[in-house]
Amino acid sequence: MPYSHITVSPVSGAIGAEVGGVDLGGPLDGAVFDEIHRAFLDHLVLFFRGQDINPDQYLAFAERFGPVADYPFAEDKDGHPGITEIVKQPGDTMNFGGLWHADTTYQATPPIATLLHAQETPPVGGDTMFANMYRAYDTLSDGMKRMLDPLQAVYTASLRAQGGTGARAQLAAQTGRGKNVDKMDMEAEHPVVRTHPETGRKALYVNCAHTARFAGMTPEESAPLLRFLFDHLGRPEFTCRFAWRPGDLTIWDNRCAQHYALNDYHGHRRLMHRITIAGARPE
């Protein structure tokens, strides 16, 4: 179905589209938002270039997708509940989100979506990659699908995978507003393959940042199959890559997409404002 109010230009064959013809700082009538939401479901991640909006306008746009959720391990931006600052300073070596993951899957009700609004970007580098988990599931063999479909997995905030816990600790140290440090063992059990509540499509849901093991199995028993799935879901043909500029805004579907923040800009500062949209228990 064509778009009448916005332009939607895919950025890869697998995932992602750049949206034009809209100012997110102004009021969005229902017809315009309906097209944005349709593009969101079709492309999994949307990129809006050069959005010069303030925090209140940013929150107003985010809330069109649903109630804003709390991030459990950092305080909100001063005066703006729901916005978290994601910052890497020039002297930092570790970044936040530097591995394939879906956000906070260790929560009982992980977010529907995540938004980032770029405030400061390095002169080069600091891109974010996105991967399509529908395709990651669809390209598995029928035998693998039959094995995975009924499985549950344990997702934990304490998993030490490629700096998962360390990145959260660093975020707290950088912002000076860390919280819930006594809850780093937060965990939940979710399907290995979840069904998207709006599209009805199946998506691979495990991720190397938070998936510790299959339910009813030990970590050692789970590791070989999880390693295969972690390698599989980041295959280049499932992905796109976005180069940020100040003012750019992105929203992705946390139910069927994963992302990876690249850490290739040492010596430079990068600042993002993040919002997450409250979700429901995966099925």
- Identify whether 248 is a catalytic site residue: no
CA distance 184 to 212: 14
Q: Which of 43, 70, 103, 253 is catalytic?
A: 103
- Looking at the DSSP bridge assignments, the partners of residue 80 are 77
Of residues 135, 255, 259, 270, which has the active-site annotation? Answer: 259
Per the annotation, the verdict on 273 as an active-site residue is no
Active-site residue identified among 101, 168, 194, 270: 101
Query: Is 268 designated active site?
Result: no
Q: Is 221 left (phi over 0), alpha (psi -120 to 50) or beta?
A: alpha
Q: Among this protein's residues, is 101 annotated catalytic?
A: yes
Segments in the chain forming alpha helices (H): 30-43, 55-62, 133-138, 142-148, 164-175, 219-233
Provide the b/e sequence for 147-182 (b: ≥16 CB within 10 Å). ebeebebbbbbebebebbbebbebbbebeebbebee
Question: Quick one: which H or E segment has residue 171?
Answer: helix 164-175
DSSP 201: -
Strand-pairing partners, residue 155, are: 188, 211
Element holding 232 (H helix, E strand): helix 219-233
Residues acting as catalytic residues: 101, 103, 259, 274
